[in-house]
Structure 1
């Protein structure tokens, strides 16, 4: 069989998987865009609330300023009335002292003494005038006292109204801040949701494009040269006897969860220092030696009978597509390409395009 056939089958399956995932993410993105429309409506309402509260706060500030002016006017009027009351009290005291000094019997004495008529008339008029002034000043003092009480009550009422307005302004300000906080949260959620989904779609489409180019390259590759027709021991007969590609420690097992998500590892990862020789586990033909998204510098060997071995995250590839290798031959140097944080070799085994557990095919050794 052609070496490229198994690779093509595997890559086509991978491409179909990615294309299905792209479609799923696109559907999710459509759902998120619908959610974005809803968030936009909520955002619009939040902004309207902010504007309404801002207008109310502005109007409230004007009313508070007006009430402060009223309070100031009342305070000035109150001071004026207090001064007038003091003057009336002093005048009343002076009048009372004058009447008291004249004595209660003076008027009667004037009448009985039969003194000069003109003088008597003037004196009687004087007493009448004093009595009228006394009554008027007493009534005036009482009226000013009543007015003073009314003004004081009005001042207290305005002060209480000002306090209620201030409390209302505080509550309105709190609502304004809450509305602004909701606006920021809605905006951040909106931007993060759309950006995240868009980035995921772009990444998947880039992965799919990489696989398409690889498939095209493999489809154009010529049949394996007849001159390299080496008689190989079938790899199926060496199950449990294959040599390890590197002497590193096993850090990721076949089938383990990948990045905490639903996907699982279709190979194993061996931790090794950078630059360690990577060796072929069985003779075969190199059918792929290039960079691949997610696996970095990747080398694939076809061992016939539908078996492929994959070596990823290499620092450098020492073989090219089309070259034959023997078991134990150095084919690459370990590294961190393809986005790995730690140095390690990705090693996988495929049969008829399906992942199989490579640990079951490697010779037993201490881990």
Structure 2
């Protein structure tokens, strides 16, 4: 009796451990799905930021090009202004020289005019008494007159030069004012262009920093996915090595027919795919469909088709979240692509008991229940075993 209890306890402990491992595997699969989804989101964000960076690079290049253009224009204007300043200085010097020359001419002119005036006051009687004095006096008058005419001519010429110089200086001053205003305008534009370059460069630096954060987080997720995959393989190997043996198939008594097993419909929904050969909707390849599919909304209750013990409850590759129930006479039923499992390995379930909910897990195109009936481990047509 003690030995029997120990064996029962050991079997129960092994079943509990197996169920715990299946739950752990299911949790890892969920974590893998979440990590893959997050990795996909990170990849989308990375692509979006890369596109933003390309646009910002183009915008920054345009801003720098505009800054260089304005800077060159300002430098050209400054150079032209410097040349104008020189010309204004030269014109001012010429103007001042003309003024000084005119003043000098006027001094000479006034001096000669006084001399002429004083000469004109000479007594004619005295001139007549002195031999040759009249001729002398006339010659001096002519000389003074010629000098005065030269002074007038020179004054007019220098005055014209002064007027021309003044006009040139006025023109140069107007050009200088225009260039000063243009330089002020270009300096303001240059400052604005530099601000634009700085703003775009700042935005690019911020997006680049965000990209580095995304890449770091992406690397962490990739490492986490590798670790989850390694843990998943380890647990799957353990489950395979410690898979409980199926119950023995009872043999019918000679001379008696094997009883016909009937199962209840696992879900109240129409059949969308039958048992047998068909074109796989995923890749359009002809494959053998080992069960039937019930098209039901996600979350629809899945019921046990017959009483028996749950021998598998967890993630099974392309089947997604799956439950397998062992029944009498070597039969078993499989329920795949569930969204939630409500039964555990080792649990005894009754016909019609809710064991899971319809989902879209694993390799699936839409929410549905994939239902299989197996006899001696071999798939058979479920429709031949389902009650009406």
Task: Calculate the TM-score normalised by the size of structure 2.
Answer: 0.51
Change (3 A) 1:98 1:206: same
Paired with 1:221 and 1:155, the residues of 2 have a C-alpha distance of 97
Q: 1:70 aligns with which of 59, 63, 80?
A: 80
Q: Which residue of 120, 127, 131 corresponds with 2:152?
A: 131
Cα distance, 1:2–1:138 mapped onto 2, change above 3 Å: same
Which blocks of at least 5 consecutive residues in structure 1 are unaligned? 224-351, 354-367
CA RMSD of aligned residues (A): 3.2
Counterpart for residue 185 of structure 2 = 164
Which of 38, 63, 66 is residue 56 of structure 1 equivalent to?
Answer: 66
Whole-Å Cα distance in 2 between the matches of residues 97 and 195 of structure 1?
92
Which is further off, 92-101 or 112-121? 112-121
Alignment partner of 1:179 is 2:189: no
Q: Match of 1:23?
A: 33
- Find the partner of 2:49 among 39, 46, 50: 39
1-structure distance, mates of 2:91, 2:66 = 37
Task: Give the drift of 1:47.
Answer: 0.4
Deviates more, 1:118-127 or 1:29-38: 118-127
Shift of 1:163: 2.1
Question: Aligned partners of 1:163 and 1:30: how far apart in 2?
Answer: 53
Matched, 1:151 2:175: no
Q: Any conservation in 1 of the 2:112–2:144 contact (CA below 8 Å)?
A: no
Unpaired segments ≥5 residues, structure 2: 1-10, 125-133, 245-343, 346-388
Map of 2:112 onto structure 1: 102
Specify whether residues 204 and 38 from structure 1 end up closer, same or farther in structure 2 by C-alpha distance, changes over 3 A only.
closer
Distance 2:25 2:120 in 1: 135
Whole-angstrom distance in 2 between the partners of 1:37 and 1:155: 54
The answer to whether the 8 A contact 1:8-1:219 is kept is: no
Question: How many residues matched?
Answer: 226
Q: C-alpha separation between the residues in 1 aligned to 2:236 and 2:15?
A: 10
Residues 299-324 of structure 1: CA deviation (Å, up to 9, x unaligned): xxxxxxxxxxxxxxxxxxxxxxxxxx
TM-score (norm 1): 0.53
- Asked whether the 8 Å contact 2:112–2:148 carries over to 1, the reply is no
Q: Partners of 1:94 and 1:220 in 2: how far apart?
A: 125
